[in-house]
Amino acid sequence: MNEKKLLTQLKHPFLINMFYAFQDYENLYLVTDLVTGGDLRYHHNKRKKFTEAQTKFFVACCITGLEYMHNNGVIHRDIKPENLLMDSTGYVRITDLGISREWTPENS
- Using a 10 angstrom Cβ sphere, with 0-12 exposed, 13-18 middle and 19 or more buried, the burial of residue 29 is exposed
Among residues 33, 78, 87, 96, the one annotated as catalytic is 78
Sequence letter at residue 21? A
33: annotated active-site residue: no
Minimal CA–CA distance to 65: which of 13, 6, 22?
A: 13
Cα separation of 20 and 16, whole Å?
12
Give the active site residues.
78
